[in-house]
Amino acid sequence: MATRKAAATPNISADELKTYYHDMLLIRRFEEKAGQLYGMGLIGGFCHLYIGQEAVVVGLEAAAEEGDKRVTSYRDHGHMLACGMNPDGVMAELTGREGGYSKGKGGSMHMFSKEKNFYGGHGIVGAQVPIGAGLAFADKYLGNDRVTFTYFGDGAANQGQVYESFNMAALWKLPVIFVIENNQYAMGTSQKRSTSSPEIFRRGEAYGIPGEMVDGMDVLAVKAAGEKAIAHCRAGDGPYILEVKTYRYRGHSMSDPAKYRTREEVQKMRTEKDPIDHVRDLLVSGGHASEDDLKEIDKSIKGIVNQSAEFAKDSPEPGVEELWTDIYADVAPQDEDA
Amino acid sequence: MPTEILMPALSPTMEEGTLAKWLVKEGDTVSSGDILAEIETDKATMEFEAVDEGVIGKILVEAGSEGVKVNTPIAVLLEEGESADDIGETSAAPASGEKATDKDDAPKDNAPKDEAAKAPAKAAAPVEVKSNASPDWPEGTEMKTQTVREALRDAMAEEMRKDENVYLMGEEVAEYQGAYKVSQGMLDEFGPKRVVDTPITEHGFTGIAVGAAFGGLKPIVEFMTFNFAMQAIDQIINSAAKTLYMSGGQMGAPMVFRGPNGAAARVGAQHSQDYAAWYAQIPGLKVVMPYSASDYKGLMKTAINDPNPVIFLENEILYGRSFDVPVLDDFKIPFGKARIWKEGSDVTIVSFGIGMQYALEAAEKLAEEGIDAEVIDLRTIRPLDYDTVLASVMKTNRCVTVEEGFPVGSIGNHLSAVIMERAFDYLDAPVINCAGKDVPMPYAANLEKLALVTTQEVIEAVKKVTYR
* pLDDT, tens digit, 9 for 90 and up, residues A196-250: 888 999 999 999 999 999 999 999 999 999 999 999 999 999 999 999 999 999 9
Contact B285, B381 (CB under 8 A): no
Partners of A160 on chain B (C-beta within 8 Å) are 203
Per-residue model confidence (pLDDT) at position B269: 92
The residue ranking higher by pLDDT, B438 or A1, is: B438
Which range (A329-333, B129-133, B434-438) has the least confidence? A329-333
Q: Which phi and psi angles does B288 have, rounded to 5°?
A: -125, 135
Where do runs of H (alpha helix) occur along B281-319? 293-305, 316-319
Distance CA A120, CA A153 (A): 15
Q: Would you mind telling me the total number of residues written for chain A in this entry?
A: 338
Report, as an integer, the average pLDDT of B33-39: 87
| pLDDT score of A8 | 46
Q: Is residue B165's pLDDT more than 70? A: yes
pLDDT over 70 at B108, yes or no = no
A164 in contact with chain B, both atoms CB, cutoff 8 A: yes
Residues in A closer than 8 angstroms to B239, CB to CB, are 122, 124, 127, 131
Domain map of chain B by residue range?
3-89, 144-326, 339-465
- Domains delineated in chain A: 14-252+260-312 (3.40.50.970)
Which pLDDT belongs to residue B45?
82
In a 13 Å sphere around the CA of B251, the CA atoms on its Cβ side amount to 24
What Å distances lie between residue A311 and A32, A308, A318, B403, CA to CA? Answer: 16, 5, 14, 53
Say if residue B106's pLDDT is above 50.
Answer: no
pLDDT at residue A247, as a whole number: 96
- The gap between the terminal CA atoms of chain A, to the nearest Å, is 62
| Residue B98: band (very low, low, confident or very high) from pLDDT cuts 50, 70, 90 | very low
Give this complex's ipTM.
0.92
Give the model confidence (pLDDT) of B290-310 as tens digits.
999 999 999 999 999 999 999
Choose among A286, A321, A279: nearest CA to A24: A279
Q: Do A317 and B110 touch (CB under 8 A)?
A: yes
Q: Which residues of B touch A136 (CB under 8 A)?
A: 211
Residue B33 has pLDDT above 80, yes or no: no
* B199 min Cα distance to partner chain A (Å): 8
CA angle A302, A308, A309 (to 5 degrees): 90
Distance (Å, rounded) from C-alpha B73 to C-alpha B273?
58
- pLDDT for res A129: 98
Q: Tell which CATH classification among 3.90.1150.10, 3.55.50.30, 1.10.10.10, 3.40.50.920 matches the domain B339-465.
A: 3.40.50.920
Q: How far apart are CA A83 and CA A116, in angstroms?
A: 7
- Catalytic residue (one of B4, B159, B171, B271): B271
Q: Which tens digit of pLDDT belongs to each residue from B369-404?
A: 999 999 999 999 999 999 999 999 999 999 999 999
Question: At B28, phi and psi to the nearest 5?
Answer: -70, 145
- Quick: pLDDT tens for B66-90: 999 988 999 999 987 777 777 765 4
Confidence of residue B13 (pLDDT cuts 50, 70, 90): confident
Cα B10 from Cα A252, distance rounded (Å): 12
Does B121 score more than 70 pLDDT? no
Q: Does pTM surpass 0.90?
A: no
pLDDT, average across residues B54-58: 91
Mean pLDDT value across chain B:
90
More confident residue, A169 or B1: A169
State pLDDT tens for residues B205-229. 999 999 999 999 999 999 999 999 9
pLDDT number for residue A257: 79
Average pLDDT over residues B413-426: 98
* CA angle, A242 then A246 then A249, to 5°: 155
Closest Cα to residue B387, out of B336, B462, B335?
B336
Listed in sequence order, the DSSP H helices in chain A are: 14-39, 54-63, 77-82, 87-94, 128-142, 160-171, 191-194, 219-234, 263-273, 275-285, 291-314
Instruction: Determine whether the interchain pair B208/A130 forms a contact, defined as Cβ–Cβ distance below 8 Å.
Output: yes
In the chain, the amino acid numbered B397 is: N
Domains B3-89 and B339-465 share a fold: no
A151 DSSP β-pair partners: A179
Q: What sign does the CA torsion over B156, B158, B159, B162 have?
A: positive
Under 8 Å CB pairs connecting chains A and B tally to 256
Whether chain B has a CB inside 8 Å of the CB on A134: the answer is yes
Sequence-separated (6 or more) residues with CB below 8 Å from residue B85: none
Using 50, 70 and 90 to split pLDDT, how confident is the model at B51?
A: confident
Taking residues B300-322, report their average pLDDT: 97
Give me the percent of chain B exceeding a pLDDT of 70: 91
Q: How many angstroms separate the CA atoms of B442 and B269, rounded?
A: 6
Can you list the residues of chain A whose pLDDT is less than 50?
1-8, 333-338
Identity of the residue numbered A221 = A
A-interface mutation test, from B13, B245, B302, most A Cβ less than 10 A away: B245
Residue B101 is predicted with a pLDDT of 39
The answer to whether the CB atoms of B47 and A132 lie below 8 A apart is no
Q: Which fold has domain B3-89?
A: OB fold (Dihydrolipoamide Acetyltransferase, E2P) (2.40.50)
State residue B136's pLDDT score.
Answer: 92
Dihedral over alpha carbons B201, B204, B209, B213 (to 10 degrees): 170
Class of domain B144-326: alpha beta
Q: How high is the pLDDT of residue B127?
A: 60
Chain A residues touching residue B8 (CB < 8 angstroms): 36, 38-40
CA distance B256 to B259: 10
pLDDT for residue B118 is more than 50: no
Mind telling me how many Å the CA of B446 is from chain A's nearest CA? 39
Q: Which tops the pLDDT comparison, A317 or B45? A: A317
Q: What is the model's pLDDT at position B265?
A: 87
B31 touches chain A (CB under 8 A): no
HEC string of B16-50?
A: EEEEEEECCCCCCEECCCCEEEEEECCCCEEEEEC
Residues of chain A with Cβ-Cβ distance to B118 below 8 Å are: 324, 332, 334-335
Whole-angstrom Cα distance, residue B453 to residue B122? Answer: 30
CB A321 within 8 A of CB B368: no
Is the dihedral angle over the CA atoms B379, B381, B387, B393 positive or is it negative?
positive
For residues B100-112, average pLDDT: 40
